[in-house]
Structure 1
Amino acid sequence: MLRFMTLGPSGSNHEFVTARYLEFHGLTGKASVELVLDFDTAAKAVIKGDADYLIQVAVHPSTTEIVAKFRKHLFVIDAFVSGSKDMAVVTRIDIKQPRSLALQPATREYVDTKGLELIPETSTASVAEGLLSGKYESGLTYSSLAHDYPERFRLDEVVGTVDDPWIVYGRERLSGGNVVTWKDSPAAHAYQSELNLAAL
């Protein structure tokens, strides 16, 4: 069985997207997913052989460090685009006007945070956990939280799903220094379509 690592806690967007990636490649039931709380730990585990692959959203604050720090032993072997879970600013119903907003720093530009104290969290799932425990007034997290607990939370601003780039790392360099891409991709079709229209 193949062993993949990604960012937790359970219910995280990383877990959600990793499951979609494994399903796309027909690996459901043939691969396990282990959740970790930081990518440094995951990278070292893959290098050591305690896991086979690591999946990370490319916009995560630690991505540059992971690519650079472990470049001799951990390689980018694949990249893909995936929509996230449905997201929103979720606020406790007992808070009329929140003064703070918990969020994963990579999501900061999804909403207007002017005038709010920003509380950084390791993942969007940990924002949800903080809201559930009463730790936070408001947070940028999954809209499902408000749907699951309508007596506790409301949706202040709906973000929806966001298409993010994702990176898959492994111990073996697969690119050979070449461009690795999908010639029959939706982007390739869009390029050809635009060229065909321009030629008319």
Structure 2
Amino acid sequence: MARIYTLGPARSCHHHATLKYLEFQGIEPQDIILVDDLVAAAAEAADRGDSYVLQCSAHLNVHLVTEKFRDRLQVVDTFILPTQSIAVVKRKDVKEPRSLGLPEPTMGYIDKNAWNELIFETTKPVVEKKLLEGVYDAGVAYSRSALEHPEKLEIMQEIGEVVTTWLLYGPRPRYSDTIIASPYPELHDVLP
């Protein structure tokens, strides 16, 4: 079984995408390593020489993983899969939220000028945990955060699922001078 590193904790979008990808490939999920630093995980995977890294293309450090380990860990596959449903979630005990916790890659979903303070976290599950601890007033988290904690949290703004791409890095290059892509017939309908 292949060892796959991805951004944790459990139930993160990266973890979810890894499970979906392995299911699609018909592989039993046995050796998924959940980390909070994908660059450090890529270094470890590259050093091991037998491991993979799964990363969302919207993640901040895609360029670092792609560039820094290019000789020992290359993109070997990509796929399209939506994130889990995302929302701006606030604590119910806060009337006018002013501080917002969020993973930096989610900045495009919010108006940063609407907040007095932005606190960056690694993943949405961390945002949920700190919201419940009262660290900040609101956060970009999963919609389920409010559904699972209705006594403490509520949705301010539903963002929903976001269709994105995912990159799988592996120890043996797959590309060899020929494009690797899936046919997309609909493109012919829009191009002359």
TM-score, with length taken from structure 2? 0.93
Tell me, yes or no, if the aligned pair for 2:89 and 2:139 is still in contact at 8 Å: yes
1:79-111 C-alpha deviation (Å, 9 max, x unpaired): 111101101001000001111111111111112
Tell me, yes or no, if the aligned pair for 1:58 and 1:165 is still in contact at 8 Å: yes
Tell me how far 1:193 sits from its aligned partner.
3.9
Aligned to 2:57: 58
In structure 2, how many angstroms separate the alpha carbons of the residues matched to 1:180 and 1:50? 23
1:137-174 C-alpha deviation (Å, 9 max, x unpaired): 10001010100111100100000000111110011111
Aligned to 2:79: 80
Tell me, yes or no, if the aligned pair for 2:100 and 2:119 is still in contact at 8 Å: yes
Aligned to 2:95: 96
Tell me, yes or no, if the aligned pair for 2:49 and 2:72 is still in contact at 8 Å: no
Tell me, yes or no, if the aligned pair for 1:58 and 1:167 is still in contact at 8 Å: yes
**Alignment of 1:67 onto 2:66:** yes
Q: How many residues of Structure 1 are paired with residues of Structure 2 in the alignment?
A: 191
Matched AA of 2:78 = A
Tell me, yes or no, if the aligned pair for 1:45 and 1:51 is still in contact at 8 Å: no
Provide the alpha-carbon RMSD of the alignment.
Answer: 1.6
In structure 2, how many angstroms separate the alpha carbons of the residues matched to 1:192 and 1:14? 32
**Alignment of 1:191 onto 2:187:** yes
Tell me how far 1:5 sits from its aligned partner.
0.9
1:3-54 C-alpha deviation (Å, 9 max, x unpaired): 111001122110011111111111134x421101101221122112276211
Matched AA of 1:113 = K
**Alignment of 1:171 onto 2:171:** yes
Q: Are residues 51 and 156 of structure 1, via their aligned partners in 2, closer, same or farther at CA, if it must alter by over 3 Å?
A: farther
Matched AA of 1:69 = K
Identity %: 34
- Structure 2: runs of 5 or more not aligned: none
Tell me how far 1:61 sits from its aligned partner.
0.9
**Helix, strand or coil: the match of 2:66?**
helix
- Structure 1: runs of 5 or more not aligned: none
Aligned to 2:28: 28
In structure 2, how many angstroms separate the alpha carbons of the residues matched to 1:51 and 1:72? 14
Tell me, yes or no, if the aligned pair for 1:5 and 1:51 is still in contact at 8 Å: no
In structure 2, how many angstroms separate the alpha carbons of the residues matched to 1:138 and 1:50? 41
In structure 1, how many angstroms separate the alpha carbons of the residues matched to 2:187 and 2:45? 36
Deviates most, 150-159 or 20-29: 20-29
Deviates most, 109-118 or 74-83: 109-118
Deviates most, 157-166 or 109-118: 109-118
In structure 1, how many angstroms separate the alpha carbons of the residues matched to 2:103 and 2:130? 12
In structure 2, how many angstroms separate the alpha carbons of the residues matched to 1:23 and 1:70? 27
**Helix, strand or coil: the match of 1:114?**
helix
Aligned to 2:10: 10
Aligned to 1:107: 106
Q: Are residues 151 and 51 of structure 1, via their aligned partners in 2, closer, same or farther at CA, if it must alter by over 3 Å?
A: farther
Matched AA of 2:6 = T
Deviates most, 154-163 or 42-51: 42-51
**Alignment of 1:133 onto 2:133:** yes
**Helix, strand or coil: the match of 1:15?**
helix
Tell me, yes or no, if the aligned pair for 1:13 and 1:125 is still in contact at 8 Å: no
